[in-house]
Chains A and B, each alone.
Chain A
Amino acid sequence: MRKSANERRLTAQRLAALFLLGCALFNYPVLSLFNHAGQVFGIPLLYAYLFGAWVLLIGLIAWAVERGGD
């Protein structure tokens, strides 16, 4: 957690950007692109998309926060 002020600023901006990314991924109209019958590896498309995007977002947030040691 002993990060320099600059690094903290960067982390804060990354998280703000990820928040905006999440807002875009989890809402209309991006959502509507995946909202039709269809399957990925036997899993409904929308379901697969939402969980995939969710995993991606959590991963990115973790990357932003945990970089440079805690």
Chain B
Amino acid sequence: MAQGWILVLASLLYLGILFAIAYWADRRSDAGRSVIDHPTVYALSLGVYCTTWTFYGSVGRAAATGIGFLPIYLGPTLMFALGWFVLRKIVRVAKANRITSIADFVASRYGKSQLLGGLVTVIAVVGVIPYIALQLKAVSNSFTILASSPDLVMPARAAAAPMLQDSAFYVAIVLAAFTILFGTRHLDATERHEGMVAAIAFESVVKLLAFFAVGLYVTYGVFDGFGDIFGRAAEIPRLAKLAVARDTAAAYGSWAALTFLSMLSVMLLPRQFQIAVVENVNESHVARSVWLFPLYLLLINVFVLPIAVGGLMQFPEGVDADTFVLTLPLAKGQEAIALLVFIGGLSAATGMVIVETIALSTMVCNDLVMPLLLRWKALGLDRRPDLSGLLLEIRRWAIAVVLMLGYAYFRAAGEAYALVAIGLISFAAVAQFAPAVFGGLYWKDGTREGALAGLTAGFAVWAYTLLLPSFAKSGWLPADFMAGPFGLELLRPQQLFGLTGLDEISHSLFWSLLANIGCYVGFSLRRSPDAREAGQAAVFVGSGNVGAGALQWGAGAPVAELLPLAGRFVGPDRAREAFARYARSRGVRDVEDLPADAGLVHFAESLLAGAIGSASARVMVASVVEEAPPDLDAIMNILDEASQVRAHSREIEQKSRELEAATAELREANERLRELDRMKDDFISTVSHELRTPLTSIRAFSEMLFEDPRIDLEERKRFLGIIVNETERLTRLINQILDLAKLESGRAEWTTSDVDLAEVVRESCDALSQLYREKGVALATDLPAGGPVVQADRDRLTQVMINLLSNAVKFVAQGEGRVRVAVECLRGEVRVTVADNGPGIRPEDQDAIFEKFRQGGSVLTDKPVGTGLGLPISRQIVEYFGGSLWVESEPGAGAAFVFTLPLAEDGGASE
């Protein structure tokens, strides 16, 4: 494959496909049918984490350290398990605040500080540009190797080509063009690039397939499976060592440090933030990515160690392990696979470079260039009506400049150490964002000074312990730099304060994060957050409280001022569209009718933030709104009020629940009242009916006597007897009704004293003995000798006994009836039973007979035998004295009326 033009053609073809995909996805997006609105596409696009540093470099790392390449991928797996909390929260906050980059995120969190945004941008650019250079180098190297095959020429030994013949130069130019086309097509209010994301997802698939292809070929084509490779390697002592890690504390320490470092990087690298947060279409996509992205990382690493070991066996020396994926197939004459690998490496490089430059250009434009330009009054930018074109220009130039800087670094560094080690050095640079970002998400009291001091200190220590030493090792700084300034041993960059035993990355990570976190916390605690910081803290930490953002504008501003302001940066038409949407969402028909309140200002600010970053947006809005932000107390008051309102609403809920309960009780009471009312009506009609029966018969017999003088004496006597009987019955009825009314209303007179119950029973039996004899009913009593004493009204108890006894005699058959009365003492109470051998009471009637005017037997068939008030009265009496009265009966087996009364305290021990 000596012809370079085939490689150029293949590369251009591949980029053409990328271009087509991006174009197609953008068109679909414009048509409202987004292709990237899918969790799998989101997870794949996160695969931009795997650059050429993974694609070529993992094998190199594995060849040197065995399993040591893995922490870079285990860390993200762990981080994404937490992604459910952390990433989703960042995405939610970023969407609510129209965050466009990680610099914007940090700036916005700490009171929309332009200075902070600028600092983050500088750190990101310094930390990441060498990483871009690494991608260019990888593409250039792979091109050189393929173009000079079948000879295996290591690029390091190839003479450096002049720039115009340098493949990396053209790669940089083509990538700049591609990125400009898809990264700055238009100024989006949310800075999203659908076409670019679709292309990145596609690239992730390509590099995975390419790596799988070479992995399968090496493992099963060149060797005979995993077992074969490792089995052969185990026989070579140099290779056998790769199967185990060094078993020292330092080795485990650096393993943990690398895992931790990659955990932070997978969130904080500008390209990861761009893809995971800014380009996120839907927060719910995060859910699938938490396992799909780690799975991607696992798959792309499965064949790393076999290729590394296989390569070391194939090329004992002279071939750079970083190139094994390419040189192994080449050495076996598999040019097609080598070409596929080349394309895979190209996809890893282009993916990284495109996303990283877009992210950096947004940061450079919004957080570095625009703030400076806007301050530079001489430019007269504040008089230009439309700056959206200028913004796009700045971004395009930023992309070109970032790529050219990357290329320049590549040319300058060449094969120097500074380039080889840059992967982890970049990781350590972006790890400096961790305290400000994660602290800002979960700690309300971080301040602008805290973040500034932490970032500055961390960046400085990082540069001193990692970046500058890498320059020194490349020979760009005098070698005695490593011995510490002025020969001070304590200040040796990689044994700072005499700390030894750590590898350089762990060493730098420890000192830089220590300085970073220490300054962040220390400076934050020097004062309490001011109004703007407190407001943003509320938005970021309590992510539900996004409305707090609007609180920072004390005053409102009319649409007539805000619309042109927004129009200057996002373009008049787009601004008008956005304002119209906002008006509709607030139920206002016309944009001009929008009320000039703080909400409108906040909307305009976030619209601007999408285009120029939150810090600049605040400054621009402040130019038309009277910047009289409420002081801290006011903001805290409003936030407090919000929490008070929540507390109130909880109270109101509580009250309403209580009200509901009260209503239910009332409804129940009302039901009961109705029931009682109905019962009273029933009672009155029953009473009238009961009174009318004897009255009717008295009247009928009286009339007969009055009208017919011829009735003989015998007959008259009989009639008069009936009249007397009926009158007696009437009297009894009326007495009982009065009695019951008294009892029920509680007006009855009671004379309570110690009563010997046995005596009461005996007297009652005596009183009714004549009646029993007349009817031929046997009456047996079973009374204890020294009768039990209860606290009760003696006459009332006699009334109960007589009632029960006379009921019993009424219902048993004449001549063969037997009634038995028993009094017995049971634990603390005395129990009186009046049992008969009458017809018994049906179970369904056993409750009814205690109701007023209800009698045993069917009303229709049986002649009424009593007034129907005796039992209700008796029950009232017994219950008044704390006892109860009930009946035990089965039809045909007699009935037993039982009542109990509590024993008097001192008289109960008679048994």
Contacts and interface: CB of A to CB of B under 8 A. Distances in A.
B66 to A, nearest CB: 8
B441 to A, nearest CB: 15
Main secondary structure of the interface of B (DSSP, over half): helix
Interface in A12-70: 12, 15-16, 18-19, 22-23, 26-28, 31-32, 35-37, 39, 41-47, 50-51, 54-55, 57-59, 61-62, 65-66, 70
Contact of B230 (A16, A23, A39): A39
B539 to A, nearest CB: 22
B77 A65 contact: no
Interface of A: 1, 11-12, 15-16, 18-19, 22-23, 26-28, 31-32, 35-37, 39, 41-47, 50-51, 54-55, 57-59, 61-62, 65-66, 70
Q: Which of B81, B82, B244 has the most CB of A within 10 A?
A: B81
A58 B297 CA distance: 11
Interface residues of B, number: 40
Contacts of A70: 39, 284, 287-288
Nearest to A43: B226
Interface stretch (B199-207, B251-259, B391-399, B699-707): B251-259
18 contacts: A1-B284, A18-B81, A22-B74, A22-B81, A27-B255, A27-B256, A27-B259, A28-B252, A31-B255, A37-B234, A39-B230, A42-B225, A42-B227, A44-B243, A51-B298, A55-B298, A58-B291, A66-B288
A1 B230 contact: no
Given A27-B259, A31-B255, A15 B290 contact: yes
A19 B78 contact: yes
Contact of A43 (B230, B247, B255): B230
A53 B296 CA distance: 15
B77 A54 contact: yes
A8 to B, nearest CB: 9
B298 A22 contact: no
A35 B225 CA distance: 23
A54 B302 CA distance: 11
Nearest to A65: B287
Contact of A61 (B81, B234, B302): B81
Contacts of A57: 77, 81, 294
Contacts of B80: 61
Contact of B227 (A18, A19, A43): A43
A15 B243 contact: no
B245 A46 contact: yes
A50 B84 contact: no
A65 to B, nearest CB: 5
Given A32-B252, A35-B245, A61-B294, A47 B81 contact: no
A32 to B, nearest CB: 6
Contacts of A61: 80-81, 290-291, 294
A16 B80 CA distance: 10
A37 B243 contact: yes
B295 interface: yes
A12 B88 CA distance: 12
Nearest to A55: B298
Nearest to B78: A22
Interface string B815-854: 0000000000000000000000000000000000000000
Interface string B756-800: 000000000000000000000000000000000000000000000
A19 B80 CA distance: 9
Contacts of B519: none
B67 interface: yes
B240 A37 contact: yes
Given A11-B84, A37-B244, A44-B230, A26 B78 contact: yes
B230 A22 contact: no
Contacts of A55: 298
Contacts of B333: none
A18 B81 CA distance: 7
A31 B81 contact: no
Contacts of A39: 230-231, 234
Contacts of A37: 234, 240, 243-244
Contacts of B291: 58-59, 61-62, 65-66
B84 A65 contact: yes
A5 to B, nearest CB: 13
Given A27-B259, A46-B245, A58-B295, A65 B85 contact: no
Interface string B197-237: 00000000000000000000000000001111011001000
B305 interface: yes
